[in-house]
Structure 1
Amino acid sequence: MKKLFPIWLTIDSDDVFHHPKFQGHPTRSKKQIKKKSISDEMILSFEKFNEWHQKNLDLPITIFLIGQQLECDKFKSILKKLLEKSKRNGGDIKIACHGYTHTCWSAFRPNKEEFRNDLQIAKKIIKEFAETSWRPWFRAPGGYIAPWMAEILKLEDFELDSSINPTKFLSIKSGKSEKGFGFNGWGSVHKAMNNAGIIERPWLTTFYPAFPACGPALHFPFLKYFANSTWKKFTNYRVAIEDEIKDKNIEITTVYWHLLDFSKNKGKWTPPINKK
C-alpha cells in the first residue's frame, strides 16, 4: 500500500445554486439562478456539520468560503455562531477563499482583470469576517484552475492553492492550451503555481490517479464506493498541522467535501474519515 501522509481536511461552502449547471459556467449553466440567500438544505447542513464538528473537535478543518455568501445575513449569522462555539470548545476551523462568486474561471477566456477584481472583493469580505481564522489560501470554484491564474494569486498575496484534481479525466478544467489545441494539463498548472511561489495542494484521487475521490465523487453512483474506500485507506493517519500544510517540502493528503453534503441522507451523512 502507498505510504500514508498527514491529512488536510477541507470543506467547500457551495450552496445548491452555486452548481455550474445554475451559474458561473459558459456552457453548463443552462438554468440561470441568481439567488444569493441561504437554502433550506444549507441550513440543515450547518446544523449537522455543527453536531459532527462538536464530536470531532480534535480534527482541524479548513472551510473554503464564497465571499458572496457573507452578504446573506442569515448565512453570516449561522456561520459566526458556529465558529464562536467551535473556538470556545477548543475546535480549530480556518477560513480560506473560494472566490467572491462561484465562477468557473478556466472555462472562459483568460481575464486577469476580472479574476483579480473577484479575488480582491472576496478577500476583503472574508478577511473582515474571519479575522484571525483567515488564511491566504485559495480554491478555484469547481476546480476550474488554469496556469494564467497563478500570477494573479501571487499579486493578491495568496500563499497556497488547492484546486487541482489530478486526474486526466478532468484535465479540461485546466483550461484551453495557449498552443491552440487541447488543454493545459495539470502539470502546467502545478508548474505555474511553483513558478509563482505558491504551494499547490492537489486532491486525493483513486486508482492512482485515474478517477476523482473528493467532492461530488463521494456521491456519484459506482464511483462513490471507490472514493469512500480510498478515503478510509488514506485518512487512517494523523491530521496535518498548519506548518506542514504550508511547507512545500512536506507531502500531505488533501481531501475535500462540500458543506452541503451534511444534508444528504436526511442529514445522516458524515465524511468517510478513518480517524487515527
Structure 2
Amino acid sequence: MERTWLTVDFDDIRHVPTAQGHPTRSTKPVEHQGLSQAYKTGLEQFEAWLKSNHHPVTLFVIGDLLANEAFQHWLNRMLAAYDERLTVGCHGMTHRSWSAWPEDADGFSKALGEATALLKKAAGANFRPWFRAPAGYVAPWMAEVLAAHDYRVDTSINPSWLVKKKAGKGNSWADVNAAMGSSNIIERAWLTRFSLPVNGPALTLFPLSLVAKGAWKRAPPVLMANEVIKAVEDSKVGLTTLYWHVLDHSKNNGTWQPPLAQQPSAA
C-alpha cells in the first residue's frame, strides 16, 4: 500500500520569491532583522501540531537560517524532543530560484556545499541527503551537482502545467526527472490533483485551496517514523509527497493546520 511522506519548508518572509532570489519576481526585499513575528508564531504552532500527533516529518531547512541563534536553539530543542520523528533535508543556502537564472553549476555547487556542511553540523544524525529546490525552481543541470555532493533524493518537481516554467527555459518536468534518474537520484515529485498544484501556496490560495484540501484528505496513510528513511530512499517504494510551509501555521491567527484526514497514530 502506498504511504504518505510529510515534509515542511522552513522559509521565513524574507525568503519568498517576491523578496529574494528571483530575477524578475523579487521586487519587495525584506530587511533582515532576525526571525519575523509570523515565523516565530509558525514555529510555535508547528511545535503544537507536533505534540498533537505522532507523525514523522522531514524539515527542509535553508542554510542561512542557522546563523540565527533563536532558530538554531529551536531546531536543537525539536531534534532533542522528537528525535525519532524528525529528519532534516536541504532547502538551499538561500532561497535562490536557480532555474530562473542562467545555468550556474559552480555557483549552485558552492551554495549547496555550504548549506550541506551547516545542516550536517546542526542536525547530526537527523540530516539526510535529500534536496528541495527553493520555490521548486529546478532544472536538469542541477542533477549532476546534487550527485557530486552525494545527494540521494530530490523532491523539487511540482508536475503541474501551471508551474512548468520552473523547470527552466526550454525544459519540461520530464527532462528534470530524467536528469535525476541519470544521476542516480530518486525523484519524489509532489502530489497534484487534476494536474493542479495541491502543496505549498496552493493550500491557502483560493480556489486551488479547495482542490488541495480534497487531495490531502484522500492521501494514503502517513509513513511511520521507523519507515521514513528506508521508504524515501527506495525507488521501488511508491510515496505520496505532501508539503506545507512552517509560515502556514501563523495563518488564521495561528490556528491553521495541515488538512490531513484523521489517521491512526504512527508507531
* TM-score bracket for this pair, using the shorter chain length: over 0.9
Q: Over residues 48-77 of structure 1, what are the superposed CA-to-partner deviations in whole Å (9 max), with x where a residue is unaligned? A: 1111101212x1100000000000111111
Q: Do 1:62 and 1:93's aligned partners in 2 also have CA atoms closer than 8 Å?
A: yes
Which of 45, 61, 72 aligns to 2:68? It is 72
2:251 is aligned to 264
How much is the aligned-residue C-alpha RMSD, in angstroms? 1.2
1:239 is aligned to 223
- Give secondary structure in 2 for the equivalent of 1:234: coil
Alignment partners' CA distance in 1, 2:156 and 2:222: 23
1:102 is aligned to 95
Alignment partners' CA distance in 2, 1:34 and 1:95: 27
Q: Over residues 81-107 of structure 1, what are the superposed CA-to-partner deviations in whole Å (9 max), with x where a residue is unaligned? A: 1221223xxx51000000101000000
Matched, 1:22 2:6: no
Q: Over residues 113-134 of structure 1, what are the superposed CA-to-partner deviations in whole Å (9 max), with x where a residue is unaligned? A: 0000000000011100000100
Which blocks of at least 5 consecutive residues in structure 1 are unaligned? 178-183
Structure 1 residue 31, shift from structure 2 partner: 1.4
- Letter paired with 1:255: L
Which of 211, 219, 222 aligns to 2:196? It is 211
2:82 is aligned to 86
Alignment partners' CA distance in 2, 1:36 and 1:75: 13
Alignment partners' CA distance in 1, 2:18 and 2:103: 21
Matched, 1:230 2:230: no
- Letter paired with 2:98: W
Matched, 1:114 2:107: yes
Q: Over residues 4-27 of structure 1, what are the superposed CA-to-partner deviations in whole Å (9 max), with x where a residue is unaligned? A: 621000000000111100100000
Which of 4, 9, 15 aligns to 2:6? It is 9
Structure 1 residue 218, shift from structure 2 partner: 0.2
Structure 1 residue 273, shift from structure 2 partner: 1.1
Aligned pairs (5 A) from 1:27-66: 27-35=24-32, 37-57=34-54, 59-66=55-62
Which blocks of at least 5 consecutive residues in structure 2 are unaligned? none
Q: Do 1:36 and 1:68's aligned partners in 2 also have CA atoms closer than 8 Å?
A: no
Stretches of 4+ moved more than 6 A in 1? none
1:221 is aligned to 206
Q: Over residues 193-245 of structure 1, what are the superposed CA-to-partner deviations in whole Å (9 max), with x where a residue is unaligned? A: 000000000001111xx21000000000111011001100114x242622111
Aligned pairs (5 A) from 1:162-201: 162-177=155-170, 184-201=171-188
Alignment partners' CA distance in 2, 1:49 and 1:83: 13
Alignment partners' CA distance in 1, 2:222 and 2:18: 36
Alignment partners' CA distance in 1, 2:78 and 2:139: 34
Alignment partners' CA distance in 1, 2:41 and 2:238: 35
Alignment partners' CA distance in 1, 2:31 and 2:178: 35
Q: Do 1:37 and 1:75's aligned partners in 2 also have CA atoms closer than 8 Å?
A: no
Q: Do 1:15 and 1:39's aligned partners in 2 also have CA atoms closer than 8 Å?
A: yes
Matched, 1:133 2:126: yes
